[in-house]
Amino acid sequence: MRPFNDSVIYFAVVDRFFNSDPANDNGRSPEAFDASQTDWFKYWGGDLGGMIQKLDYLKELGCSSVWLTPLFDQADGLVDVEGRGIAAYHGYWAKDFKRLDEHLASSPEDIRLFASKNTIVDRLVAEMHKKDMRLVLDIVCNHSSPARRPDVGGGPVKGEIYDDGKLLTSYDDDKLGWYHRNGGVCDWDNKGQVETSELCGLADFNESHIGYRTYIKDAMRLWLDKGVDAFRVDTVKHMPQWFWQEFVSDMVFHRPDLFIFGEWFQGGCFDPLSVQFANKSGMGMLDFGVQRGLEDCLARGNEQGFALLDKVFSLDHLFDDTRHLVTFIDNHDMPRFMSSGAAPARVDMALAVILTCRGTPCIYYGTEQYLHNDTNGGADPYNRPMMEKWDTGTPAFKLVKNSPGCAARTRPCSTAASAGSSCPPTFTPIPACTAPIAVSPFSTGGRKPRYPWRA
């Protein structure tokens, strides 16, 4: 698997980034769209045309890779989550992995994106590659959708899955046996339950069924053939390791230069199971350890300060290859850094850390504009505001773009920034000399030393 550590990733929630075409806002369910952008649980209008229009902005920022929330066709209408009506604006409730969601399209022909080579996805990929940028697609293999609210038309259909428009199965009429039926997770310390039970009422796929595995892998190969350069994989802790080993092997066989990283929520160096996942699954992982250290130190004012971060880096030896860890200061599943208490200068400091430490840095959309909303402490969904401005003169924007040693575009030219490790130097005595020689922490590229006596 090819690492992405010569790159800076920009992560955008597509619906909340830029609206290029009001004609696609309503989709198939007008009640799921809010033009006033005050109902945080509905669509607000961002689309792929908007992403294309803002590529020059992202290129100027210095981000050479763009991670987009899932683009698959989503459950329509308002979905019932704990008695609350929510639209699938975020992209994590797919019903057809072989079609584009209509809210993101520029024409009806775009929706059947594998029937044409001139869709909005093709244009996005072409424009990105022309600018030497790479597309990271967010994918979900663990689950489909929860039940739809009956008060918005039709029955409460849960987990409907289609193959390019053809209904295959659903949770309530699962003739193919594609779903687990174990209820919700009750014991989060029970690994088997976490892997086979439902998360927040989402229909949980039964990965042991070969039919499901064939369907999901075939769909992802089609997206790779469209020009997708990398996958970010949602909810990896909720599926067994053997599935990920099979999935990654098949995807990398199809695309040898593919980069894949997963979201093991709250995983990292202090979580042995997530460390095992990072070392054995074949994919990289979001580094929640660095995120928590930065948040506690710079946003929440923990008196231990940067010692918290030092503890994280001191455990880098647990990972086979830290280049595959994706570092970040916040994302769409937690309050933004400023909502956690950080002043703008502290945001800049946190960005400087991830831009210069080992791994692959990822910047959540709007961070360079200090975008945040502190309602309810900035928790979901208030951590997903609409992108409001495109100022290339903010200190954070200029930090990412221009600061010496921190500029995103310097990572491909800087071995220390792109391939270095944060492991402390080791000392190997030389028989002919009593003085030890320090082995540079950047000499192994973040991997375990090849020679065991240097470990």
Summarize pLDDT for 224-240 with one digit per residue, the tens.
999 999 999 999 999 99
Weakest mean pLDDT among 72-76, 142-146, 159-163, 421-425: 421-425
CATH class of 9-418: alpha beta
Q: How many CB atoms lie within 10 A of CB 433?
A: 8
Beta strand pairing status for 230-233 and 134-139? parallel
Asked whether 144 and 94 are in contact (CB, 8 A), the reply is yes
What is the DSSP pairing of strand 79-81 with strand 166-169? unpaired
pTM for the full model?
A: 0.90
Tokens of 112: 């059947």
Task: Say how far apart CA 106 and CA 120 lie, in whole Å.
Answer: 6
CA 19 to chain centre: 21
Per residue in 37-47, pLDDT (tens digit) is 999 999 999 99
Tally of helices (H runs) and strands (E runs) in the chain: 12, 16
What is the C-alpha to C-alpha distance for residues 104 and 8, in angstroms, rounded to an integer? 24
pLDDT for 303 equals 93
Average predicted confidence (pLDDT) for the chain: 89
Measured in degrees and rounded to the nearest 5, phi and psi for residue 111 equal -65, -45
Provide the residue ranges of all domains of the chain, joining segments of one domain with +.
Answer: 9-418
Buried b (16+ CB within 10 A) or exposed e, 307-319: ebbeebbeebbbb
- The catalytic residue positions are 234, 263
Which pLDDT tens digit goes with each residue over 72-116? 999 999 987 767 789 999 999 999 999 999 999 999 999 999 999
